[in-house]
Amino acid sequence: MQPSSDAAKRNAAYAAADHVKDGMVVGLGSGTTAAYAILALGERRKHQNLQIFGVPSSYQAFQLAVVNGIPITTLEEHPTVDVNIDGADQIEPQLNLIKGMGAALVREKIVAASATTNIFIADETKKVTALGEGNQPVPIEVVPFSIALVRHRIQKLGGVALLRETKGKLGPVISDNGNVIMDATFGEINDPTVLNHQLKMIPGVVETGLFIGLTDIVYLGTDTAVQKFEAKR
């Protein structure tokens, strides 16, 4: 598989940013691909006087919005997001996703669930035939008190769950919500809807990185082009 390129991410992100119109409330996703969408929106604001409000899905997105001159709002002020643009870790043919390798999955899913239109953007290396392919883990946000229970229940479901460790300091990754992230590997996932429900029933699981039935549009970028996929729903 080709490594993901910045040009591919940028191509997908700029195609998605074209959906945004004056007056819209825009969900600002997290990760390196979503960062290009925030950059594109900032450029449109500067050069075309695009008037929008952003709802950031993470501290990273919040900081990028500020740097790129995008006014911030909250879901309290604007409960309906017109267009949400976010990245993905894996995308299968029905456009269900795995997200959360940037540990922002809880807020990302809340923003996506608040959105009228969800656009997910990625380079083509994220396209798979089944979620979980290549031992891609499902990130899960967990209340720290429940780490042992979640590990045990995931084992009973046939998976292996590891507590995500930080790279910049010793110890576990702490999410923007003060919880930990467990990466659960199941191999190829036959029924992501069922697995999502099973995981969500475990006490202490705040949210899973399985994004089922939320996608409207996917843009997959290559170095020179972008491909559009629309969900049948």
Pairwise CA distance, residues 42 & 58, whole Å:
17
Q: Is residue 108 annotated as a catalytic residue, yes or no?
A: yes
Q: What is the dihedral of CA 201, 177, 119, 221, to 10 degrees?
A: -110
Q: How far is the CB of 101 from ligand 5RP (least distance, A)?
A: 4
Q: How far is the CB of 200 from ligand 5RP (least distance, A)?
A: 17
Q: What 8-state DSSP symbol labels residue 72?
A: B
In terms of CB distance, is 146 or 175 closer to ligand 5RP? 175
Subset of 74-93 contacting ligand 5RP (CB under 6 A): 86-89
| Closest among 186, 203, 221, 215 to 94, alpha carbons compared | 215
Query: Do residues 141 and 102 lie in contact, with contact meaning Cβ atoms separated by under 8 Å?
Result: no
Q: Kindly list the distances between the CA atom of residue 96 and the CA atoms of 69, 130, 170, 208, 226, in Å, as whole numbers in the listed order.
A: 32, 9, 33, 13, 19
| Residue choice 108, 176, 207, 216 for contact with ligand 5RP (CB under 6 A) | 108
| Residue choice 27, 56, 100, 204 for contact with ligand 5RP (CB under 6 A) | 100
| Residue choice 13, 20, 95, 104 for contact with ligand 5RP (CB under 6 A) | 104
Which residue blocks in 18-140 are alpha helix, DSSP H? 32-48, 59-67, 105-113
H or E segment to which residue 14 belongs: helix 6-17
Subset of 14-43 contacting ligand 5RP (CB under 6 A): 29-34
Across the beta sheet with 138-142, the strand order is 160-163, 180-185, 138-142, 205-208
In terms of CB distance, is 7 or 149 closer to ligand 5RP? 7
Selected catalytic residue, list 43, 77, 92, 108 = 108
Q: Does 141 bind ligand 5RP (CB under 6 A)?
A: no
Q: How far is the CB of 87 from ligand 5RP (least distance, A)?
A: 3
In terms of CB distance, is 208 or 232 closer to ligand 5RP? 208
Number of residues near ligand 5RP (by CB under 6 A)? 18
In terms of CB distance, is 85 or 232 closer to ligand 5RP? 85
Residues 6+ apart with CB under 8 A from 91: 97, 120, 122, 126, 127, 128, 215, 218, 220
| Residue choice 10, 99, 109, 164 for contact with ligand 5RP (CB under 6 A) | 99
Binding site for ligand 5RP (CB under 6 A): 29-34, 86-89, 99-105, 108
Catalytic positions, please?
108
